[in-house]
């Protein structure tokens, strides 16, 4: 194969990686989450816009509010996970271009006045960062349980009161628990996905 990453790292990040449905009681520390962020922050986004924002749901009160907004099938595992992260896209990412893209002073103006286009750009690039975040969780030796089954408007109201964020995913994080994995589902073959023009 033409993959530079060693076999064990490939397995950790991809082949053996699955969505965790149960977790052990072992806590996830702030230091672990910071290490994850310090790794994945270098992954690329358009114009280095970095719209991802993360709320770590740690307090029992915040967890209760979040669980109530999750789809029924996601409630128990979200209540029991050692840590839950709410991942959202900041639709006002362009306000940080003076720091994130300083060599092009006029780039902020490209996104001023078109709220819909800015929100779409934030959502796409935020979704890229969600993928990077999940890989970072795996690289830290933890399991991720990403979910999109929740009341997005309700989660935004509870955890992003400024109205400037769009929730993309809720991710349970921790060491895998008993019977954490469903069986691996089939993947599409190369020839079903890739064509040459």
CB 172 within 8 A of CB 20: yes
Whether pLDDT at 110 is above 90:
yes
Mean pLDDT of 57-71: 98
Mean pLDDT of 47-74: 98
Mean pLDDT of 104-110: 93
Which residue is it, tokens 């960062």? 129
Cα separation, 4 vs 10, whole angstroms: 9
User: Which residues fall within 8 angstroms of residue 190, CB to CB, at 6 or more apart?
Assistant: none
Which H or E run includes 90? strand 83-90
Which H or E run includes 45? none
Give the model's pLDDT for residue 132. 98
* pLDDT tens, residue by residue, 5-52: 999 999 999 999 999 999 999 999 999 999 999 999 999 999 999 999
Give the model's pLDDT for residue 107. 94
* pLDDT tens, residue by residue, 77-86: 999 999 999 9
Note the helical H segments in the chain.
7-10, 30-40, 60-69, 72-80, 97-100, 115-139, 152-159, 190-193
User: For 183, phi and psi rounded to 5 degrees?
Assistant: -60, 150
Q: Return the DSSP state at 112.
A: S
Q: How many CB atoms lie within 10 A of CB 119?
A: 17
CB 158 within 8 A of CB 69: yes
Give the model's pLDDT for residue 1. 66
CB 154 within 8 A of CB 147: no
Give the model's pLDDT for residue 55. 98
In terms of phi and psi (left: phi > 0; alpha: psi -120 to 50; beta: otherwise), the region of 70 is beta
* pLDDT tens, residue by residue, 133-191: 999 999 999 999 999 999 999 999 999 999 999 999 999 999 999 999 999 999 999 99
* pTM of the full structure: 0.95
Cα separation, 6 vs 69, whole angstroms: 40
Give the model's pLDDT for residue 112. 93
């Amino acid at each position: 194969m033409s993959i530079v990453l060693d076999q064990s790292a490939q397995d950790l990040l991809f082949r053996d990686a699955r969505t965790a449905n149960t977790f052990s009681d072992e806590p996830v520390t702030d230091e672990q989450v910071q290490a994850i962020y310090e790794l994945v922050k270098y992954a690329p986004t358009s114009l280095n816009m970095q719209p991802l924002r993360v709320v770590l749901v740690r307090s029992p009160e915040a967890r209760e509010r979040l669980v109530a907004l999750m789809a029924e099938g996601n409630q128990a595992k979200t209540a029991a996970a050692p840590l839950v992260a709410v991942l959202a896209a900041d639709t006002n990412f362009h306000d940080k271009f003076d720091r994130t893209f300083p060599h092009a002073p006029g780039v902020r103006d490209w996104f001023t006045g078109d709220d819909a286009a800015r929100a779409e750009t934030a959502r796409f690039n935020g979704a890229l960062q969600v993928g990077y975040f999940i890989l970072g969780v795996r690289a830290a030796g933890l399991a991720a349980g990403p979910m999109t089954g929740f009341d997005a408007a309700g989660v935004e109201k509870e955890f992003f009161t400024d109205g400037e964020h769009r929730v993309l995913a809720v991710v349970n994080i921790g060491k895998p628990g008993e019977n954490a994995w469903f069986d691996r589902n089939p993947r599409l073959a190369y020839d079903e996905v890739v064509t040459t023009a």
